[in-house]
Amino acid sequence: MNSTATQDRVLNDAQVAELAQQLRVDAVRAAAAAGSGHPTSSMSAAELIAVLLTRHLRYDFDEPGEPANDHLIFSKGHASPLLYAAYVAVGAVTEEELLTTYRKFGSRLEGHPTPKLPWVDVATGSLGQGLPIGVGVALTGKRLDRLPYRTWVLCGDSELAEGSVWEAMEMAGAEGLDHLTAILDINRLGQRGPTRHAWDLDAYARRIRAFGWHTVEIDGHDVAAVDQAMAEAEATSGRPTAIIARTRKGRGVAEVEDKEGFHGKPLPHPDEAVSELGGIRHLRIHVRPPEPAGRPRLGGDPAAPLPRYTLGDQVATRDAFGAALAVLGTRREDVVVLDGEVGDSTRAQMFAKEHRDRYIECYIAEQQLIATAVGVGVRGRLPFASTFAAFLTRAHDFLRMAAISRSDLKVVGSHSGVSIGEDGPSQMALEDLAMMRALHGSTVLYPCDANQTAKLIAGMAGREGIGYLRTTRGETPVIYGPDEEFPVGGCKVLRSSPDDQVTLIGAGVTLHEALAAADQLIADGTRARVIDLYSVKPVDTQTLRAAAGTTGRFVTVEDHHPEGGLADAVLESFGNGHPMPLLTRLAVHTMPGSATPAQQMHAAGINADAIAAAARKLVNTKLPALGG
């Protein structure tokens, strides 16, 4: 093999081993040039990746969007030097880019991989997420795309302690994802010392087999053994395969090999290490592309009408969500719905009834729920994931990473706030708005009636990034006509006059309380503007500023803890020279117990009476002069 030529034939074991050494050398050089990074965690998996690239992966690096391409996910994202060294070996990234930009400002070669790189599906670096997302990718291939691509996920051993990995093992085993292969790089050493199971490969194999997987235990530095294991994975049907590879961290450099204290830092003597590894090589390899497959033609009937509700009817927004989602599924065949064994409560099952083939039951495993959705999104479909809003907190880290992945992910949380009533605080989402607003680039919507819900679901589907819609358990009156529009970033001014003295701002269940409060206030001659802040992020800055200009006084009311929700969203509109109104913040300040919805709203001080009282008090407050 000419060391600079492109290989166009099958490499023998010695040549693959040479490639592995090159990957090590380049990982060492990259970390040395950057002054940080994880070369030792890369070196343990060099043969695993070298064999995969040269003999098993089917991928067209010139056409990363090719639907028949395999997927390669580095769940151990800190091994980015290995991934980028592989990109150099296949000619996708130049050696110069690797050595001059890795981990530098503005580089696409970040410390942990992100989809800034066209060959990276999702951001990794929070451990235990790659395999769960890989399950979503593989499941899409099997159930929806019906394409024979394979999903290969490289995992570290430390991350196998994450429960999310076992949610993934369970789902993959139960779904029989035989085109999914987990490659476990068991290098014995975690960040701060030995892992719980060290090199007890069988400890891992026993657990994984119990979840319905096929397992193969090998020496991860033996090229022939790795090759055979991957062939075995490809030949195994009905079950996913885990290749459990015993490896040595820092393999090939005696100073660091299998030694503690060298995690996450450049090698102490990189030049000597490169020499010990046989020096710099310039092997270039050709990864076999797949047979091209057409993108599935996903059409739909864009004219399918949204449900229409009659003014005054009592309809829960969760019901309106389910009905709208079913129509969205008819309009767009790319819509896929996922639920966490609560589809009867969230009403996602209304979609399932119409589009059974595009409904994925994730059982009570919210991390896997979001991960599967992200995987579905990797395949170009539009995922809607739903569960009780309170339980979305279970998947917070997955949502955080999905934002870094720039995932197009739609999330719907039901049973928000104290208004759910008797079930008590464990079931009440009182921090979901804070969580979802703080995600980078998110959209947060909170409808108060059925027609609005239908329109917002459709609107959210057309918007990029993470979208969140919060629904309510109980029935609320329909107050908008079915032809009203609700643009994301807008709001509705429901009561208004030029001499308004105070602005009441609610959304969802509290909007109705705000309207009732305004009626109470009229009785004592107090004029209140009422704003329906259905778009919590982005907020309608212009309308809020106008209301502040006119009334100078805001009462915000939300079925949420006081931090991070509606009031904070309102205040985002001000500052930078825009004067803030006086604000009274009504929210759930206490820990609720069990009670009827009306008692809960009363106890929390977020019902009409409380709003009217707060507004009266605020109206009687003199607007003070600011200092300075």
Residues within window 52-81 making contact with a second copy, judged by CB under 8 A: 77
Dist CA 525 CA 592 (whole Å): 34
User: Which residue stretch of 176-184, 229-237, 301-309, 396-404 sits at the interface with a second copy (rule: CB under 8 A)?
Assistant: 396-404
User: Which residue stretch of 10-18, 19-27, 247-255, 550-558 sits at the interface with a second copy (rule: CB under 8 A)?
Assistant: 550-558
Dist CA 560 CA 433 (whole Å): 8
User: Which residue of 275, 364, 484, 487 would you call a contact of a second copy, by CB under 8 A?
Assistant: 364
- Residue 620 CB neighbours (<10 A): 10
- Residue 43 CB neighbours (<10 A): 33
Minimum CB distance to a second copy smaller for 478 or for 488 = 488
Q: What is the dihedral of CA 450, 443, 115, 167, to 10 degrees?
A: -60
Q: Using alpha carbons, select from 330, 315, 437, 335 the residue that is nearest to residue 386.
A: 335
CA distances from 399 to 359, 374, 396, 406, 468 (A): 20, 9, 5, 10, 11
Phi, then psi, of 590 in degrees rounded to 5: -110, 170
| Residue 325 in tokens | 């989602």
Dist CA 325 CA 335 (whole Å): 9
Contacts with a second copy, 145-164, as mask; x by CB under 8 A: -------------xx-xxxx
For residue 493, give the DSSP letter: E
Q: How far apart are the first and last CA of the chain?
A: 76
For residue 143, give the DSSP letter: I
Dihedral of alpha carbons 570, 574, 575, 579, sign = negative
Dist CA 308 CA 306 (whole Å): 6
Minimum CB distance to a second copy smaller for 203 or for 231 = 203
Q: Which residues between 20 and 59 bind a second copy (CB under 8 A)?
A: 34-37
Q: Which residues between 376 and 395 bind a second copy (CB under 8 A)?
A: 390-391, 393-394
Q: Which residues between 495 and 514 bind a second copy (CB under 8 A)?
A: 501-502
Contacts with a second copy, 230-269, as mask; x by CB under 8 A: ----------------------------------------
Minimum CB distance to a second copy smaller for 110 or for 227 = 110
Minimum CB distance to a second copy smaller for 159 or for 276 = 159
Shortest distance, CB of residue 64 to a second copy, whole angstroms? 20
Which residues are identified as catalytic? 366
Dist CA 585 CA 89 (whole Å): 58
Told to check if 594 binds a second copy by CB under 8 A, we report: yes
Shortest distance, CB of residue 539 to a second copy, whole angstroms? 11
User: Which residue of 33, 99, 293, 434 would you call a contact of a second copy, by CB under 8 A?
Assistant: 434
The DSSP bridge pattern shows strands 535-537 and 443-445 to be antiparallel
Contacts with a second copy, 106-145, as mask; x by CB under 8 A: xx-xxxx-x-x------xxxxxx-----------------
Shortest distance, CB of residue 396 to a second copy, whole angstroms? 4
Minimum CB distance to a second copy smaller for 98 or for 365 = 365
Minimum CB distance to a second copy smaller for 61 or for 574 = 574
User: Which residue of 327, 342, 456, 460 would you call a contact of a second copy, by CB under 8 A?
Assistant: 342
Q: Using alpha carbons, select from 264, 257, 341 the residue that is nearest to residue 103.
A: 264
User: Which residue of 167, 185, 276, 559 would you call a contact of a second copy, by CB under 8 A?
Assistant: 167
Shortest distance, CB of residue 623 to a second copy, whole angstroms? 5
Contact 103, 37 (CB under 8 A): yes
Told to check if 228 binds a second copy by CB under 8 A, we report: no
Told to check if 104 binds a second copy by CB under 8 A, we report: yes
Minimum CB distance to a second copy smaller for 59 or for 398 = 398
Cross-strand bridge partners of residue 186:
246
Told to check if 312 binds a second copy by CB under 8 A, we report: no
CA atoms within 13 A on the CB side of 142: 22
Shortest distance, CB of residue 553 to a second copy, whole angstroms? 6
Rg (CA), the chain: 28
The DSSP bridge pattern shows strands 71-74 and 151-156 to be parallel
Residue count of the chain, please give it.
628
Told to check if 226 binds a second copy by CB under 8 A, we report: no
Minimum CB distance to a second copy smaller for 130 or for 290 = 130
Q: Which residues between 561 and 580 bind a second copy (CB under 8 A)?
A: 561-565, 568, 571-572, 574-580
How many angstroms separate the most distant Cα atoms in the chain?
A: 91
User: Which residue of 595, 605, 609, 613 would you call a contact of a second copy, by CB under 8 A?
Assistant: 595
Shortest distance, CB of residue 568 to a second copy, whole angstroms? 5
Q: Using alpha carbons, select from 281, 283, 169, 278 the residue that is nearest to residue 215.
A: 169
Dist CA 621 CA 14 (whole Å): 83
Q: How many residues bind a second copy (CB under 8 A)?
A: 127
User: Which residue of 214, 332, 437, 492 would you call a contact of a second copy, by CB under 8 A?
Assistant: 437
Minimum CB distance to a second copy smaller for 85 or for 147 = 85
Told to check if 439 binds a second copy by CB under 8 A, we report: yes
- Residue 269 CB neighbours (<10 A): 15
Told to check if 558 binds a second copy by CB under 8 A, we report: no
Contact 136, 372 (CB under 8 A): yes
Told to check if 488 binds a second copy by CB under 8 A, we report: no
Shortest distance, CB of residue 342 to a second copy, whole angstroms? 6
User: Which residue stretch of 146-154, 303-311, 364-372, 445-453 sits at the interface with a second copy (rule: CB under 8 A)?
Assistant: 364-372
Q: Which residues between 168 and 207 bind a second copy (CB under 8 A)?
A: 170, 174, 190-192, 195-196, 206-207
Dist CA 141 CA 627 (whole Å): 63
- Is the backbone of residue 552 left (phi > 0), alpha (psi -120 to 50) or beta? left
Minimum CB distance to a second copy smaller for 152 or for 554 = 554
User: Which residue stretch of 52-60, 208-216, 289-297, 306-314 sits at the interface with a second copy (rule: CB under 8 A)?
Assistant: 208-216
Minimum CB distance to a second copy smaller for 224 or for 364 = 364
CA distances from 346 to 321, 328, 419, 461, 474 (A): 8, 16, 15, 18, 12
User: Which residue of 165, 315, 450, 478 would you call a contact of a second copy, by CB under 8 A?
Assistant: 165
